[in-house]
Structure 1
Amino acid sequence: MDKISFKTDIYLGQGALDRLLEWRNKRIFIVTDPFMMKSGMINLLFERLHESNEQYVFSNIVPDPPVEVVTEGVEALGTFQTDLIIAIGGGSAIDAAKAMKIFAKKILNQQDIPFVAIPTTSGTGSEVTSFSVISDKAKNIKYPLVSDDMLPEEAILDPELVKSVPDFITADTGMDVLTHAIEAFVSTKANDISDALAEKAIKLVFAYLPRAYKNGADLEAREKMHNASCMAGMAFNITSLGLNHGIAHVAGAKFKIAHGRMNSLLLPHVIEFNADYKPGYGKEEYNATAARYADIAKILGLPASNARSGVRSLVQAIKQLQKQLNMPETLRDCGVDKNILEEMRAAIAEGALRDGCTATNPRVPTEADVIEILNKMFQLG
């Protein structure tokens, strides 16, 4: 028996930020990042908050927020005695706010504080998930946190906030959306509800990510990618993820490669591993996961006369999408030295096998399997 619940109220589309106009007499703790402050984008929030509200702005957020920053935020939360948390920014700001909220409740014995997430990138889906990732910079380790207590009460998805996102970040975060949706679709916990969300997200990514990449001011494309990110988040919040994210969490920290970009590099190789796909012709042999990938190919209108051809079509479509987005295809393209890879790959494999996301991967990997994937990622051919 599965239980599915959606705690978060979602306000979406152009003008969704006007939801902020409705709050009065609140002590609002705002979690954001320096870019939002320096660029002036934070004013889109301030100009909608009523003068009866009091605000405290915590803007020390950095990518892959470290434990120290979260601790600092918890202390500030306790001092300010907030009754509403608003996180506005990318996945790092939202993840940090989630961690602050849950630790404030546990450490400071505070009541559960209402939480609103306003994403400014279309990638993590963090605004509708019970997951957060914080890091230990000294150890180069990312720690996934999982708790329904971190789920925001509200999410505000306004495309106005993402139209100025640079093209390379649009590409990285968009490929993260695709990875979320595909991993949710083949997860061992997938069901009809998660499938519907994942399928729609996948279709939206292929249709609108190239448009959003080429023209950031294309508000239709931005809105569709924002919605795709949210739906993919809802899907994997039901199913969890898989080996792709299990490796990405560890390898991304070790090699200092952006999370979405690392997921993109991994995606074709993890699909081929899960499908037990071997190039060439011969007797048609496939597992149930290969058939699931072939279903995705069919959804996208790609050739998929059998599972083998469906897997091949999907992998090629992903590689073509990467080319449209001018994304690197190998670890070497990202500046990773072969000797460094050889030094780190055993530790990466060990960490990936321990990662919580790997537990719902459709094929159980070994350390040797992960090392083989890393070797394939280093250089094509």
Structure 2
Amino acid sequence: MKSVYIKTKIYSGENSLKRLEKFKNTDICVVCDQFLVKNGSVKGLLSFINDSNNVSVFDEVIPDPPLNVIGKGVALIKKNNPSIVIAYGGGSAIDTAKGIIYFAKQQNFIDKVNFIAIPTTSGTGSEVTSATVVTDTETKTKHIIFDDVMLPDEAILDANLTVSVPADITANTGIDVLTHAIEAYVAKDANVYSDALAEKAVELVIESLVQCYKQGNDIAARKKMHEASNLAGMAFNIAGLGINHSIAHQLGGRFHIPHGLANSILVNIVIDYNCEDHEILKKYAKLVYKTGMVEKAQSDEFAVEVLKTYIKTLTKIMNMPQNLKECGVDKNEFDNVKSIIAENALKDGCTQANRREITKFGMERLIQLVY
């Protein structure tokens, strides 16, 4: 027996931030980064929160959320004991808030908390998932944690918050959405519900990502990408991901490569690996047919080649590096740590969701191909 659990209540569209006006006479903690404080974005968010509330702001979020930063957030939660936690920002802000809630609950510092996620980028889908990725800065290793205690109670989707996202970040986060949908579609626990969500996410990416990259102020395209991110997040929260993410987590932790960019470098290599199993190849092909890239009359092999060509073309249109060398990774450093990367990727929680099994030797072979 399998269960499909979608907990998060979603507020989407114009004026969705008005949801925050409903809260009165309570303690609220906002988790964000300093950039959103300095550019006035947090001030805009706070304008929707009634003055009767007691609001604290934890603004120490940084990319690849490290455990020491999460620890500082846990200390603040213990001190203030908020009834509402708002994660405001990109994936790092939401992952940090999740980490804070997870460890605070483990230590019994908080009991019940209303967790609200407000993404300002269209990428991670973290606002509807029960996973977080944290970084051990000493070992330069990323760890993924899965627990429903981190699943947001509410998500507020306002595409206007994404209009100012720079083109390069739009590209990275957009490919992250696409990778989420593709991996969820062929993951071990995929089912009709996750498939439907993933198919629609890919369809929306095809319709809107390049436009978002070229014309960042196109609010209609931004709305589609925001929805695509959300749908892909739901898809992989049900189905899981795979080795694309397992390796990407380690490349990010080791070389500080943005997560979506790491995914983009890996995706076609992982597709090739998985397609050595013909049943998985057929599933990739089904996604291509369902999203209208190819007519069903074509062969499954042809459909998968079209998918790979689309991904490669998309990344080139958006001027994304195609390998680790183009990302500025030193070859000697890469050679020295590739075995460690493979070992850590094998332990990553996403690996067990990959439909085709892989050994450490197989991981090393794939990792070698990304340089």
Structures share a fold, TM > 0.5?
yes
State the shift of 1:109 in Å: 4.1
**Distance in 2 of aligned mates of 1:291 and 1:326:** 30
1:299 equivalent in structure 2: 290
Displaced runs of 4 or more, over 6 A: none
Are residues 1:364 and 2:365 paired?
A: no
Q: Which of 333, 339, 356 matches 2:326?
A: 333
Say if 1:127 and 1:230, in contact at 8 Å, map to a contact too.
Answer: yes
Q: Is the 8 A contact 1:272 1:311 kept in 2?
A: no
| Letter of the 2:162 counterpart | V
Aligned match of 2:338: 345
Q: In 1, Cα distance between the equivalents of 2:342 and 2:102?
A: 30
Distance 2:243 2:307 in 1: 18
Of residues 305-314 and 261-270 in structure 1, the stretch that sits farther from structure 2 once superposed is: 305-314
| TM alignment of 1:54-203, pairs within 5 A | 54-203=54-203
Deviation at 1:342, TM superposition (A): 1.3
* CA drift at 1:181: 0.4
Counterpart CA distance in 2 for 1:130 and 1:237 is 7
* 1:44 Cα offset (Å): 2.0
1:64: Cα distance to partner?
A: 1.0
Distance 1:376 1:259 in 2: 18
Q: 1:373 aligns with which of 338, 347, 366?
A: 366
Q: Could you tell me how far apart the structure 1 residues matched to 2:147 and 2:314 are?
A: 34
TM-score, scaled to structure 2: 0.97
Letter in 1 for 2:165: V
Structure 2 partner of 1:10: 10
Q: Aligned residue for 2:301?
A: 308
Counterpart-to-counterpart distance in 2, 1:341 and 1:71: 30
Assess if the C-alpha contact under 8 Å between 2:78 and 2:109 holds in 1. Answer: no
Describe the superposition over 1:79-102 as per-residue Cα deviations: whole angstroms up to 9, x where unpaired. 112111111011111111111112
Cα distance in 1 for partners of 2:100, 2:360 equals: 34
Contact 1:78–1:108 (8 Å) recurs in 2: no
Point out the more displaced range, 41-50 or 115-124. 41-50
Residue aligned with 1:42, SS:
helix
Q: CA deviation at 1:108?
A: 3.4
Alpha-carbon offset, residue 215 of structure 1: 1.1
Partner of 1:252: 252
Q: CA-to-partner distance for each residue in 1:344-378, whole Å, 9 max, x for gaps? A: 11111111111110101121112222222222221
RMSD value, Cα: 1.1
2:111 and 2:361 map into 1 onto residues whose CA distance is 47
Give, in angstroms, the shift of residue 260 of structure 1. 0.6
Deviation at 1:223, TM superposition (A): 0.7
Secondary structure of the equivalent of 2:217? coil
Partners in 1 of 2:81 and 2:285 — Cα distance? 52
* CA distance in 2: counterparts of 1:273 and 1:63, whole angstroms: 30
Alpha-carbon deviations, 1:174-227, whole Å to 9, x = none? 100101000000001000000000000011111100011111111011111111
* TM-score for the superposition, normalised by structure 1: 0.95
Residue in 2 aligned with 1:280?
none
> Would you say how many aligned residue pairs link Structure 1 and Structure 2?
369
Q: Which moved more, 1:102-111 or 1:119-128?
A: 102-111
Q: 1:63, CA displacement in angstroms?
A: 0.5
Give 1:343 deviation, angstroms: 1.0
C-alpha distance in structure 2 between counterparts of 1:112 and 1:295, whole Å: 42
Matched residue SS, 2:323: coil
Letter in 2 for 1:148: D
For residues 301 and 108 of structure 1, the distance between their equivalents in structure 2, rounded to whole angstroms, comes to 50
SS at 1:165 equivalent: coil
Instruction: Using the TM superposition, name which of 226-235 and 103-112 deviates more.
Output: 103-112
Contact 1:30/1:86, CA 8 A, preserved across alignment: yes
SS in 2 for 1:241: coil
In the alignment, is the contact (CA less than 8 A) between 1:296 and 1:314 conserved in 2? no
Map Cα deviations across residues 145-196 of structure 1 (whole Å, 9 max, x no partner): 1110111110000011110001100000010010100000000100000000
Name the CA distance, whole Å, in 2 between partners of 1:310 and 1:188.
Answer: 21
What pairs with 1:220-259 in structure 2 (closer than 5 Å)? 220-259=220-259
Which residue identity does 1:295 align to in structure 2?
K
Q: Which residue of 2 aligns with 1:51?
A: 51
Contact conserved, 1:243 with 1:357, CA < 8 A, in 2? yes
Secondary structure of 1:326 counterpart: coil
Aligned mates of 2:292, 2:55 — CA distance in 1: 50
> In 2, distance between residues paired with 1:135 and 1:375?
23
User: Is the contact between residue 77 and residue 110 of structure 2 (CA under 8 Å) also seen in structure 1?
Assistant: no
Q: Secondary structure at the match of 1:356?
A: coil
Per-residue deviation at 1:300?
3.4
SS at match of 2:41: coil
1:279 — aligned with what?
Answer: none
Could you say which residue in structure 2 is the equivalent of 1:281?
none
